[in-house]
Structure 1
Amino acid sequence: MKLLDSPKAPSRRMLLQYALGAGALFADPLIALAAAPPGFDQWRANFRKHALAKGISEATWTRVMGRIEPDMSVFPQMVAQPEFSEQIWQYINRRVSDWRIIAGKKALQKNEPLFARIEKDFGVERGTLLALWGVESAYGDPQVQQNHMHPVFPSLAALAWNAPRRRAYWESELINALRIVDRGWSSPEEMRGSWAGAMGHTQWMPEVWLNVGFDYDGDGRVSPFGKPDDALGSTAKFLVNRGKYHRGEHWGYEVSGASGSARGNRTYAAWSSAGVSRADGQPFPQPNASAQLWVPVPDGPAFLLGPNFYAVRSYNPSMNYALAICHLGDRILGAPPFIQPFPGSERALTLAEVQEMQLRLTKAGFDTGGTDGRVGNDTMKAIRDYQVKMGLEPADGYGGLKVLARLRQGS
């Protein structure tokens, strides 16, 4: 499929790698100021000519861009990428939470025919898609869309106008978003997403919407919003086409007997001959499939990673993200936690414990935004504020057993 107006076909992976570089630039305000382009109105007038030359209609331009103002809040948000700042066990515990596991089981029960159809059509395991859906949008929760997503056009306009690097990329995504409106697939009001313009159940960038998205539910339009069929079917297509997902293979396994110095891509049979076995004692079901060894941290769990782990990583370049997605998918389908703990880690709180922590924080004057057992930005801020007040180090916003124990002691 031809890629529309996206130099070198930027992916979610490229976008997230870009955000890291942008964070380094914005850490120095002088660099950001030095890179400032002409004023927004002048840029918009110049960009209008470019958009019309790309085939965007005058009506769509006027409707979307005629009075738009840039959302300047995108620039501070470019700095922090949690995949690269948390300890891996904290990152995984936050995402492979009791709430996501329980909600994932319910989402599967509600949508089982859809996942069965996707597995038949694309060969992508339901656990992988459920985990992506759960992490990216809390299984399409309308509250996430309403409370945490923002209109994408002001964000993309700000980035296309004033991003310090890869401005051509953001301009191309703005053109792609305008083309979506031009085609009648969506409206500016419906197109709400992250600071970077990722939208819907599985957080599509406009380029993915145009080039990978397809009408899986047969309603005549392609949409990452509403029913999850288009979003999940198209995400499976993304993993197959761009991530080279292998039908019928598991993403990998926690293993024991591995030397951290072992390198290379070997068959599971070869790894077994080298003394590497599954940590749960079960045999490798596909001994002729290939995998690579990964030991995230010394003395922690080790993993053999197959091609489908890296297919998930094509969705986000973080190894931590891919491991969290793969592990969450397994947990939703009934697998246990990792057998070997990460050094210095603690187990994840249960749903009841998270709710207790939220209730105690709220009673202590720290607003968690609710007590439903989900740990979002409000709860993390409340935890961090509590840690600062009580002198708990590090004040990282991680709500684990230590924070809960301190809350139970009272003030």
Structure 2
Amino acid sequence: MTHADSSLHPTRRSLLQSTFGAAALLTFPTRVLAAPPGFDEWRESFRARAMAKGISAATWQRAMGRVEPDMSVFKQMRSQPEFHEQVWQYINRRVSDWRVINGKIALKNNEALLARIERDFGVERGTLLALWGVESAYGDPLVQQNHMTPVFPSLAALAWNEPRRKAYWETELINALRIVDKGWSTPEQMQGSWAGAMGHSQWMPEVWLNVGIDYDGDGKVSPFGKPDDALGSTAKYLVNRGKWHRGEHWGYEVRAAGNMSGSRTYAAWASAGVTRADGQPFPQPNESAQMWTPVAGGPTFLLGPNFYSVKSYNPSMNYALAICHLGDRCLGAPPFIQPFPGSERALTLAEVQEMQTRLTKAGFDTGGTDGRVGNDTMKAIKDFQQRAGIAPADGYGGLKVLAKLRQGS
């Protein structure tokens, strides 16, 4: 899985769209340049390896026979923007007003599906909503149309000429070929990030192939179109690979006196003086949880097994915390009670749109004024900070940046 948040930011202010149908209409762009020297030779040798893995000649010809490597992937790898975020900035950007508002809309529009997944897998709907929102903006088709590319040219380039993980990329390319071989998709439909992650949940081909389920019963497993397969498969992933515990919440913000750490049951934590920050009792006192304080002086959490199940989706503690908090917010919970040191509240949706509009008028292209913050907006903010002498120039769009922009109007 990838952080779609950092690259998915279509230029419109739409409400939830439940299908990626527009993406399926895209076709491979015309390649006017011949393959770089050495690619054709590699392709022939790789063809033999693919055939040995059971890929049919028809599928090979359809997907790889005339493919040209998308060499832009190497520029993407080299130029991944570096924005050094503090924990509170990381959380604010992912648990944005836009995501909370649209997560509630997604919940309303997919109530029956999410209830079915909860019955079948035990995974909380809030967690699924949050993963969906962070990974693909709740399945907005323009995310796919504007920011996705055909995966076969990308994977072919990486498998051929990315030396550090060549075996990995070849395996993913074979997985993508197997998906076509099964009739689950076509090369034209398989649009993804430059690294090959696709659809509502940003699956790599291996996850699609080995974890994906046909949850809508149409005979295919697809991360595109209706969200049924993607969300059902995401729940299966969390259960099988993340060891999700049915009926348990991910954890709680707590108040704790002194310097405590380690893992105990909630009952043992309560006996040691630890309470939930909202004053409510721990609903499952016999379950175990680990204490974590991301930043000294900030909020403290007791983390249950399902927090680490979410972390299996992306091995980052901050990512897992953002997902779990966004899921709670989509279900009506308030922000964290204890603020992070030096933090400020997140901008509202209207304030983000105002910031984007003012940045654009000042000559800093945000890629749209839809209220989502991705790489274009962050780069625009960083460039503005540098010009305005705001330190640190970290690309974070908060109250200070908005106030400075208003001064210049």
Letter in 2 for 1:254: E
SS in structure 1 of the partner of residue 269 of structure 2: helix
**Cα distance in 1 between the residues matched to 2:330 and 2:81:** 23
Of the three residues 270, 274, 287, the one matched with 2:272 is 274
SS in structure 2 of the partner of residue 286 of structure 1: coil
TM-superposed CA distance for 1:224, in Å, is: 0.3
**Cα distance in 1 between the residues matched to 2:251 and 2:57:** 51
Of the three residues 299, 303, 324, the one matched with 2:301 is 303
Change in CA separation of 1:83 and 1:366 when aligned onto 2, cut-off 3 Å: closer
Q: Which moved more, 1:348-357 or 1:38-47?
A: 38-47
In the alignment, does 2:162 pair up with 1:163? Answer: yes
Change in CA separation of 1:315 and 1:82 when aligned onto 2, cut-off 3 Å: farther
Letter in 1 for 2:243: K
**1:83–1:91 contact (8 Å) kept in structure 2:** no
Letter in 1 for 2:247: G
Q: So what's the TM-score if we normalise by structure 2?
A: 0.88
SS in structure 2 of the partner of residue 311 of structure 1: helix
**Cα distance in 2 between the residues matched to 1:327 and 1:80:** 30
Q: Which residue of 1 aligns with 2:117?
A: 118
Q: Which residue of 1 aligns with 2:97?
A: 98
Q: Which residue of 2 aligns with 1:346?
A: 344
Q: Which residue of 1 aligns with 2:314?
A: 316
**1:83–1:321 contact (8 Å) kept in structure 2:** no
TM-superposed CA distance for 1:261, in Å, is: 4.7
TM-superposed CA distance for 1:376, in Å, is: 2.1
**Cα distance in 1 between the residues matched to 2:344 and 2:334:** 16
Of the three residues 393, 397, 403, the one matched with 2:395 is 397
In the alignment, does 2:49 pair up with 1:50? Answer: yes
Residues 5-39 of structure 1 show CA distances to partners (whole Å, capped at 9, x for unaligned) of xxxxxxx59x99xxxxxxxxxxxxxxxxxxxxx92
**Cα distance in 1 between the residues matched to 2:237 and 2:386:** 43
Change in CA separation of 1:130 and 1:174 when aligned onto 2, cut-off 3 Å: same
**Cα distance in 2 between the residues matched to 1:82 and 1:327:** 25
**2:382–2:396 contact (8 Å) kept in structure 1:** yes
SS in structure 2 of the partner of residue 165 of structure 1: helix
Q: Which residue of 2 aligns with 1:286?
A: 284
**Cα distance in 1 between the residues matched to 2:375 and 2:94:** 13
**Cα distance in 2 between the residues matched to 1:168 and 1:365:** 44
SS in structure 1 of the partner of residue 46 of structure 2: helix
Q: Which residue of 1 aligns with 2:357?
A: 359
SS in structure 2 of the partner of residue 59 of structure 1: helix
TM alignment of 1:351-390, pairs within 5 A: 351-390=349-388
Q: Which residue of 2 aligns with 1:19?
A: none
CA RMSD for the aligned pairs? 2.0
The unaligned stretches of length 5 or more in structure 1 are 1-11, 17-37
**Cα distance in 2 between the residues matched to 1:82 and 1:313:** 23
Considering Cα pairs closer than 8 Å and 6+ residues apart, tell me whether 1 or 2 has the greater RCO: 2
How many percent identity over aligned positions? Answer: 82
TM-superposed CA distance for 1:275, in Å, is: 1.4
TM alignment of 1:112-151, pairs within 5 A: 112-151=111-150
Q: Which moved more, 1:227-236 or 1:64-73?
A: 64-73
TM-superposed CA distance for 1:83, in Å, is: 9.9
**Cα distance in 2 between the residues matched to 1:360 and 1:270:** 52
The unaligned stretches of length 5 or more in structure 2 are 5-36
SS in structure 2 of the partner of residue 188 of structure 1: coil
Residues 139-184 of structure 1 show CA distances to partners (whole Å, capped at 9, x for unaligned) of 0001111111111111211221122323211111100000101111
**Cα distance in 2 between the residues matched to 1:398 and 1:369:** 16
Letter in 2 for 1:217: D
**1:130–1:329 contact (8 Å) kept in structure 2:** yes
In the alignment, does 2:256 pair up with 1:257? Answer: yes
Residues 336-389 of structure 1 show CA distances to partners (whole Å, capped at 9, x for unaligned) of 101111112111001111111112112222222222211122222221221122
Letter in 2 for 1:207: E
Residues 16-71 of structure 1 show CA distances to partners (whole Å, capped at 9, x for unaligned) of 9xxxxxxxxxxxxxxxxxxxxx9222211111100011111111111211222222
Change in CA separation of 1:58 and 1:305 when aligned onto 2, cut-off 3 Å: same
Letter in 2 for 1:51: A
In the alignment, does 2:206 pair up with 1:216? Answer: no
**Cα distance in 2 between the residues matched to 1:281 and 1:258:** 15
Q: So what's the TM-score if we normalise by structure 1?
A: 0.88
Residues 63-112 of structure 1 show CA distances to partners (whole Å, capped at 9, x for unaligned) of 21122222233234446778994211111111100000000000110110
**Cα distance in 2 between the residues matched to 1:285 and 1:92:** 26
